[in-house]
Amino acid sequence: MKTESLEQRFQDRIDREERIEPKDWMPEKYRKTLIRQISQHAHSEIVGMLPEGNWITRAPSLRRKAALLAKVQDEAGHGLYLYAAAETLGISRDEMIEQLHDGTAKYSNIFNYPTLTWADMGTIGWLVDGAAIMNQVPLCRCSYGPYARAMVRVCKEESFHQRQGFEILLTLSRGNREQREMLQESVNRWWWPSMMMFGPNDADSPHSQQSMAWKIKRFSNDELRQKFVDVCVEQAKILNVTIPDRDLKWNEERGHYDFGKIDWDEFWRVVKGDGPCNRQRLKARIDAHENGAWVRDAAMAFAKKQSERKQAQKIAS
């Protein structure tokens, strides 16, 4: 069969909302797009543990510590579900890790910003997990089965992340002046990087259209960003916190909030490696991987020895 008609049949399946499974025929570009997106998503979950891991030992109470620890552990799980989903497309785990470490694969830009205060744990839960959820919920209906199924698990677990973050901020908002200032200062730093999590404007996002046609993506970057703004403005009122955007204004005609311009120069600078923490994050990952090599090797050697011993016993008896 000609590739052309294979591709047409593939698109027909997508249009009928059929799910694509690992062994099904798919265009090479569909496979490559998914490998890139899923592996970068996985890397984001793993690198994303670093900024929050930074505060586990300094959480202000046992309750907060247990919650933060559970959240960070969840993110490790998310990374794992996603790596496994990407592996079904024919890339190995080692290859993906290598791409992260040599810089060919990216992870979410947001994790290149530092966590300076305890309030950042709350803001990350509220805004960063909030933005992630907005991105991830439509992915539960992604055309690629293993990715969609992984996202269902991830989304189930995410909601506690956002709620625990909001609770941290709520406590600060009801605290003394210093605590309220800490809350505002943290939101000031995280608001714009969170807005950038939805990616470039639609006009500057050339691959988006193909991803929409393949039903990998269901909503455009700008649509999701608008939804995020509309939701956050209302939530900010409960926290008594000001969103650091002077152009933020309800637009009666559109039925949405208008908002200010995003500093895309900063975005691209951080993507290209010059954010506040890029080097530190990557180094932490590479160190962890290299320092763990002997553990992985020892486990393999042990497993091999055990199975050889079992084999020998079988022969002897």
Partner 1 sequence: MINQEWPLWEIFIRSRNGLSHKHVGSLHAADAEMAMSNARDVYTRRSEGISIWVVESSKIVASNPEDQGPLFEPAANKVYRHPTFYDLPDGLEHM
* Chain residues that interact with partner 1, rule: CB under 8 A: 21, 23-25, 70, 73-74, 77, 80-81, 84, 87, 92-94, 149-150, 153, 157, 293-294, 296-297, 299-303, 306-307
Point out which residues bind Fe ion (CB under 5 A).
45, 75, 78, 129, 158, 161
- The listed partner (Fe ion, partner 1, none) that binds 203, CB under 5 to 8 Å by sort, is none
Nearest approach in angstroms of CB 100 to partner 1 is: 15
CA 295, 300, 306, 307: dihedral to nearest 10 degrees? 170
Considering beta carbons, is residue 52 or 245 the nearer one to partner 1? 52
250's enclosing H/E stretch is strand 249-251
Structure tokens at 113: 């910003």
Nearest approach in angstroms of CB 45 to Fe ion is: 5
256's enclosing H/E stretch is strand 256-258
Considering beta carbons, is residue 23 or 246 the nearer one to partner 1? 23
Instruction: Please name the residue ranges forming H helices in the chain.
Output: 3-15, 28-47, 49-53, 62-87, 93-101, 119-123, 129-136, 145-173, 177-196, 208-213, 221-239, 264-269, 278-291, 293-316
Least Cα distance to 146 among 224, 221, 71, 80 occurs for: 80
Nearest approach in angstroms of CB 67 to Fe ion is: 12
Dist. CA 217–CA 283, nearest whole Å: 32
Considering beta carbons, is residue 73 or 280 the nearer one to partner 1? 73
CB 182 within 8 A of CB 189: no
Considering beta carbons, is residue 133 or 248 the nearer one to Fe ion? 133
Nearest approach in angstroms of CB 303 to partner 1 is: 4
Considering beta carbons, is residue 238 or 303 the nearer one to partner 1? 303
Considering beta carbons, is residue 45 or 120 the nearer one to Fe ion? 45
C-alpha distance from residue 168 to each of 65, 122, 233, 240 (Å): 11, 5, 18, 14
- The listed partner (Fe ion, partner 1, none) that binds 161, CB under 5 to 8 Å by sort, is Fe ion
Nearest approach in angstroms of CB 20 to partner 1 is: 10
Nearest approach in angstroms of CB 202 to partner 1 is: 33
- The listed partner (partner 1, Fe ion, none) that binds 98, CB under 5 to 8 Å by sort, is none
